[in-house]
């Protein structure tokens, strides 16, 4: 039984290592781009380098220092224009460019760029032409019509857009058509755009309203196997996470099937999305525009505006943080599956309650680090009765070991008969061989759920605990950081060693201690695996979120205490463990 338990544990940990190592290294320590000099000397390699895309950070934003500096300069110039309507909402600031009527300047008041208190707010939208260009536009298309374009200068009836004061932009085409866009904003991240065209001419016209979001992928966050980053939306009531930027580069454009409930671009923590008018079925297309520029456009069906009439159409634009509570509130208000902008996956039913519990604990204690430790305590407490039964089963298994050995020796040449006799022995002694494995198996979904919560939940971003400045990021107290104080920069390829932090070391030590408390595996190969495994996992897990390591270390400490207690309740296991260790040592 013990061997089975150890084997399952080894398989689970090995699987975690196999799937996690490569993603973790790409996630936290992205590789630098290829050398430019080599590319210039070889046309083929130069073309490959040209095609190579920008490396992305975990939370998004420009990563190249030169691009960051250029963006600041370009942004300053673009936003200095007087042709702008300011946005001043409780959680959003920015401006609307009257040249084109474009929403191209949005920052989030509640979220800072870095853990530094003096850092600026997170920027979602930037004007067209800047390094981080990301904007939304509403307009019309029509044949033989003079429609507003990117260079159209709109007239606004206000200078500032607030939740209490919508702003209406107007433009007269001089040919009997007056276009208007009435922008309003709520207390969170939703902007509503009511597009209208009034026909004062003598003849009917046919127009198609549209909305679009245009962005560069240079500011996109990393697309992870556990968290989608890129184009997405809900089409025909199904959330589509299958479109990514490389897909668009290959196909140039993708038109999802089914009615568009909403569509846009998702990063790990941020979202921009167009939401169409309720009674409409616009066609939505994602496009690659070249040079790492991408666009989603949503165009409504053609409609006739008779002479003397007015046609209005209302769309919504979300530009903000992927806060689970906020997204769910919009979903409850009628936007189909808006909460699915966070890719919780199959364990959604378990991850969201866990996030809810974490938030409740945070509200009670005021610190997410302590909340994670309390959550661990709760999880271990819930599983304690199961663990107790598992230990009781192990004790019973140990008690029948002599009888099992007797059967194995008696039927050594008849395996079916041996198995049949062992099963009969289990029934007579009322022993369940799987009971000892259950606590360990139940830990796997809990661990995975917490892993996704710490990756996806913006609530964890920039949350401090002791020396940790961001529980959603790797432990900052690592060897590389220590060496940097002396002016030594560790190469990226060595970060798998020098990225080891305090929590990683604690993880390795506590796991080694828990393995030491287990009865020694009789198989020498298994014994060697369990001697090495804690130290392998120590390095493998080091790049993961500090909050996840905090959970695991706390869980190990509680496991140690639990093992001590249960061993005291089952002295036969203690004796067996000591006998096994003595045998292994001898």
pLDDT digit string, tens, across residues 546-585: 888 998 899 889 888 887 887 777 666 666 666 655 665 5
The pLDDT of residue 438 is: 64
Is the pLDDT at 203 greater than 70? The verdict is yes
Give the pLDDT band (50/70/90) at residue 36.
very low
Q: Is the CB of residue 503 less than 8 Å from the CB of residue 474?
A: no
Nearest to 133 by CA among 18, 216, 29, 9: 216
Instruction: Report the pLDDT value the prediction gives residue 269, as an integer from 0 to 100.
Output: 94
Residue indicated by tokens 């009865």? 519
DSSP secondary-structure letter at 478?
B
- Report residue 351 CA to chain centroid gap: 13
- Predicted local distance difference test score (pLDDT) of residue 168: 98
The residue among 485 and 545 whose pLDDT is bigger is 545
Give the pLDDT band (50/70/90) at residue 231.
Answer: very high
| Both structure tokens of 526 | 């298994």
What is the residue-averaged pLDDT of the chain?
84
Q: Give the contacts of 347 (CB within 8 A, at least 6 positions apart).
A: 445, 448, 449, 452
Confidence (pLDDT) at 391 = 67
Nearest to 145 by CA among 181, 178, 194, 169: 178
What is the spatial distance between Cα 510 and Cα 554, in angstroms, rounded to a whole number? 9
Please determine, for residue 213, whether its predicted confidence score (pLDDT) is greater than 70: yes
For 126-150, the pLDDT digits (tens) are 999 999 999 999 999 988 899 999 9
Cβ neighbors of 210 (< 8 A, separation 6 or more) are 138, 139, 140, 141, 282, 297, 298, 299, 300
Average pLDDT over residues 266-271: 95
**3-class secondary-structure state, position 575:** helix
Distances (CA, A) of 421 to 397, 408, 417, 428: 15, 9, 6, 10
pTM: 0.80
CA angle 138, 140, 146 (to 5 degrees): 130
pLDDT tier, 57 (very low <50, low <70, confident <90, very high otherwise): confident
Specify the pLDDT at position 526.
Answer: 59
- pLDDT at position 3, please? 47
Question: Would you state the pLDDT for residue 525?
Answer: 61
Please tell me the least confidently modeled range out of 145-154, 268-277, 487-496.
487-496
Most confident of 287-296, 405-414, 444-453, 530-539: 287-296
Q: What is the pLDDT of residue 116?
A: 84
The Cα-based distances of 411 to 371, 414, 523, 565 in angstroms read 54, 5, 21, 38
177-189 confidence digits (pLDDT tens): 999 999 999 999 9
**Residue 440 pLDDT exceeds 70:** no
- Kindly tell me if the per-residue pLDDT of 99 is higher than 60: yes
> DSSP per residue over 85-102, as a string?
EEEE-SSEEEEEETBTTE
Report the distance separating Cα 277 and Cα 133, nearest Å: 26
Domains along the sequence of the chain with CATH? 65-336 (2.70.98.90), 356-392+437-575 (no CATH)
pLDDT grade for 538, boundaries at 50, 70 and 90: confident
pLDDT of residue 30: 46
Other C-beta atoms closer than 10 Å to the C-beta of 410 total 12
- What sign results for the dihedral spanned by CA atoms 329, 332, 333, 339? positive
Rounded to the nearest 5 degrees, what angle is found at the Cα of 153, between the Cα atoms of 126 and 174?
A: 150
Using only C-alpha atoms, what is the Rg of the chain? 30
User: What is the rounded average pLDDT of the residues 344-372?
Assistant: 90
| H or E element at residue 418 | helix 415-429
Residues paired with 328 in a beta bridge:
none
């Amino acid at each position: 039984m013990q061997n089975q338990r150890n084997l399952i544990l080894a398989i689970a940990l090995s699987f975690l290592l196999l799937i996690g190592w490569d993603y973790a290294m790409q996630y936290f320590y992205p590789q630098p781009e290829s050398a430019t000099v080599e590319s210039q000397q070889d046309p083929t390699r130069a073309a490959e380098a040209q095609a190579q895309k920008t490396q992305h950070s975990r939370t998004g934003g420009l990563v190249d220092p030169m691009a960051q500096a250029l963006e600041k300069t370009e942004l300053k110039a673009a936003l200095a224009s007087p042709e702008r309507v300011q946005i001043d909402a409780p959680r959003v600031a920015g401006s609307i460019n009257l040249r084109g009527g474009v929403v191209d300047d949005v920052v989030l008041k509640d979220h800072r760029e870095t853990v530094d208190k003096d850092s600026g707010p997170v920027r979602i939208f930037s004007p067209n032409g800047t390094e981080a260009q990301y904007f939304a536009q509403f307009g019309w298309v029509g044949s033989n019509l003079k429609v507003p374009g990117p260079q159209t200068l709109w007239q606004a009836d206000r200078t500032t857009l607030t939740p209490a004061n919508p702003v209406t932009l107007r433009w007269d085409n001089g040919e009997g058509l007056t276009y208007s866009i009435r922008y309003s904003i709520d207390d969170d991240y939703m902007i509503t755009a009511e597009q209208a065209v009034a026909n004062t001419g003598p003849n009917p016209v046919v127009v198609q309203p549209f909305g679009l979001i245009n962005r560069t992928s240079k500011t996109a966050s990393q697309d992870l196997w556990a968290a989608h980053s890129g184009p997405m939306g809900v089409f025909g009531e199904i959330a589509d996470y299958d479109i990514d930027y490389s897909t668009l580069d290959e196909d140039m454009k993708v038109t999802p099937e089914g009615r568009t409930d909403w569509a846009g671009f998702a990063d790990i923590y941020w979202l921009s999305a167009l939401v169409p008018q309720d009674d409409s079925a616009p066609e939505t297309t994602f496009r690659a525009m070249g040079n790492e520029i991408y666009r989603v456009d949503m165009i409504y069906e053609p409609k006739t505006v008779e002479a003397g009439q007015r046609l209005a159409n209302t769309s919504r634009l979300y530009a903000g943080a992927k806060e689970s509570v906020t997204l769910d509130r919009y979903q409850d208000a009628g936007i189909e599956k808006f909460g699915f902008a966070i890719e919780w996956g199959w364990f959604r039913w378990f991850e969201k309650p866990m996030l809810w519990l974490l938030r409740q604990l945070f509200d009670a204690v005021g610190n997410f680090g302590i909340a994670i430790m309390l959550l661990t305590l709760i999880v271990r407490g819930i599983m304690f009765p199961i663990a107790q039964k598992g230990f009781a089963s192990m004790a019973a298994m140990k008690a029948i070991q002599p009888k099992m050995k007797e059967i194995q020796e008696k039927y050594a040449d008849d395996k079916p008969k041996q198995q049949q006799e062992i099963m009969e022995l289990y029934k007579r002694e009322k022993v369940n061989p799987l009971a000892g494995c259950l606590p360990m198996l139940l830990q796997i979904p809990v661990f995975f759920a917490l892993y996704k919560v710490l990756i996806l939940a913006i609530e964890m971003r920039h949350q401090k605990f002791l020396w940790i400045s961001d529980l959603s990021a790797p432990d900052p107290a690592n060897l590389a950081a220590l060496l940097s104080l002396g002016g030594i920069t560790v190469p990226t390829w060595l970060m798998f060693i020098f990225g080891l932090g305090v929590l990683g070391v604690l993880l390795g030590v506590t796991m080694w201690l828990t393995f030491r408390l287990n009865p020694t595996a009789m198989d020498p190969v298994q014994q060697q695996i369990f001697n090495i495994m804690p130290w392998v996992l120590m390095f493998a897990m080091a790049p993961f979120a500090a909050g996840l390591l905090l959970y695991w270390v706390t869980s190990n400490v509680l496991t140690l205490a639990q093992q001590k207690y249960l061993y005291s309740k089952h002295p036969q296991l203690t004796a067996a463990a000591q006998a096994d260790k003595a045998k292994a040592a001898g």
